[in-house]
Amino acid sequence: MRSLVLILGLGFLPHAVFAQDVALLIGNRSYQTLDPVAGADGFESAGDALGETGAEVISATDADRPEMVAAIREFAQFGREAGGQAVVLVGRFGEVDGDAWFLPVEASGDDRIDTAEHGVPVSLLARIVSRAPGRAILVLGAADVRSLGQVDLPQGVTLAVTDPGSAVAFARDTLAVPGAAIADGLPDDARTGGFLPAGLTFLPDESGQPGAVPDPETAYWLLTRKRDEAGAYRAYLGRFPDGEHAAEAQERLDRYTETPEDRAERLEAELDLSREDRQAIQRDLTLLGYGTRGVDGIFGPGTRAAIVGWQEAQEREATGFLTREQVTALDGQGAERAAAVEAEERRRQEERNRADEALWSGMGSERSEAELSNYVDRFPDGLHAGEARRRLGEIRGARVAEEDAGERERERQIWSVVQQENSVQGYRTYIDAFPDGDYVSEARAAIDRLSPREVPQAGPGQSEENSLGLTPATRRAVEQRLDAMGLRPGTVDGTFDGQTREAIRRYQRAAGLRATGYVNQGTAVRLLADSIRGIVQ
């Protein structure tokens, strides 16, 4: 704490004096290693509301320690002759020797050392605002109010502790309203301490006197917000149909009167999911066994049905729309399932490789034709399949040569006649008669040369792969994963050549998928579940 006091120490000197109200707002919702803080959304609206009153506002959102220190130091520059001073902290808090510390987004809060290393002691901020006794407000919106430590309050400082959402609403609807009483704006379950007389306000009313009664519409609106129910908003609109807060009242009334289905759809829309986010959700659902009919980032009937199925299995309200908490839960379950699938596939491949190696080693160095044929039959894409086929070719070629040396001369004579005829049918007749002949490749080349060219049509496997629209980066990820699994896809360059196709077929056979050698949706989801997740998140 000593280092932080030294950093801020200059802020207590009265070299910068402003006769105006000052507010420091820090809202940390998205922590790097901790769960997001629920209710912290809309934090910026509180700063905007205070700024519109003419107050000086210093704010920071999702701040790390240097950013927090910079904001606090700027706030501390305002001298003792400033008007009211308020600090609103929304996020997670730690505890050191019983005292409350506010945590920046990089803190883990695992222990007191981490808290002291990264956090800011709340009591220090209480000392700063105490320069305006009687108009010094400290508001803490804690993700876990029950575990909040103590705050050493100097004389004349008002403390309010509540949940993040209520803290944001209090700052916006009470601190930012001239003449609004502090005590009236706090939720019933808020924890208060320090200086809190009846009628205490942060901002004076238009007469310049703190604690003065606001104008009738403002007073009515404050009561409406405190009740926060459909009947109260209807009454406000009936009395002030063109009032300053009519639009907000109508919006809140609509939320109270919307159907459960409309509310579920609105909550998902407020998440502002990108296409990549939606694709990640579809992959998670598919991994968990809920087919979405595509991983395209479009939530059509297939995806909605999959969401309903997952929600029912989780004993949640089956709306077909997701909340932030459900997206987080899906992500965790998907990651767990992806790890299990990968581990199982790795185990099966390792078992297959062991059996492959055992059979190959057991044949000894002088492998017979029968042994090699048996190996190729059992492991057509095995570790030694290429060598086995080469050796089989050598053995069979030698046997043919030994059994019938005259056959070569006969073949040569027929080939000479076929060449003179130079027709497609002649070359095909030669291949039929000598499928392993010396001139088969030349015959096929001649057939290809003499046959009319046709535009090749993509087969079903290739069509499915093409429909996925795999990027070069995704293709390289496929090759990297195959290479990591020991399936030998060749050079990792984003080009699916013959070696890559063989590796894909090996993977598909090992995973119990249809072995086409092309990447379809099922293969992509199972093979790239982990690596693609990293790209999206």
Give the model confidence (pLDDT) of 67-120 as tens digits: 999 999 988 887 566 678 999 999 998 888 888 889 998 988 778 888 888 889
The mean predicted confidence, pLDDT, of the chain is: 84
| The pair of three-digit structure tokens given for residue 301, joined into one six-digit string | 């009937």
Burial group, residue 415, by CB count within 10 angstroms (0-12, 13-18, 19+): buried
Topology of domain 464-536 in CATH is Muramoyl-pentapeptide Carboxypeptidase; domain 1 (1.10.101)
Where is mean pLDDT largest: 323-332, 410-419, 440-449? 323-332
Contact 533, 280 (CB under 8 A): yes
CA dist list (Å): 317 to 49, 260, 285, 305, 313: 36, 10, 17, 13, 10
Q: Which residues of 165-201 are buried (b: 16+ CB within 10 A; e: fewer)?
A: bbbbbbbbbbbbbbbbbbbebbeeebeeebbeeeebb
Cα distances (angstroms) measured from residue 219 to each of 208, 236, 246, 253 = 17, 11, 14, 19
Helix (H, G, I), strand (E, B) or coil at 6: helix
The SS3 assignment for 339 reads helix
What local confidence, expressed as pLDDT, does residue 453 receive? 52
29 has a pLDDT exceeding 70: yes
260-334: CATH number? 1.10.101
Residue 464's pLDDT is 86
Q: Which DSSP symbol is given to 173?
A: I
Share of the chain above pLDDT 90, in %: 29
Residue 534 has pLDDT above 50, yes or no: no
Decide: 518 and 461 in contact? Cβ < 8 Å: yes
Q: Read off the pLDDT of residues 204-258 as tens digits, 9 standing for 90 and up.
A: 765 555 544 456 788 778 878 877 888 888 888 888 999 999 999 988 888 887 7
3-state DSSP assignment of residue 262: helix
Query: What stretch(es) of the chain map to CATH 1.10.101?
Result: 260-334, 464-536
CATH placement of domain 2-214 = 3.40.50
| Other C-beta atoms lying within 10 Å of the C-beta of residue 294 | 16
How many CA within 13 A on the CB side of residue 479?
19
Contacts of 211 (CB under 8 A, 6+ apart): 179, 181, 199, 200, 201, 204
CATH 3.40.50 in the chain is located at: 2-214
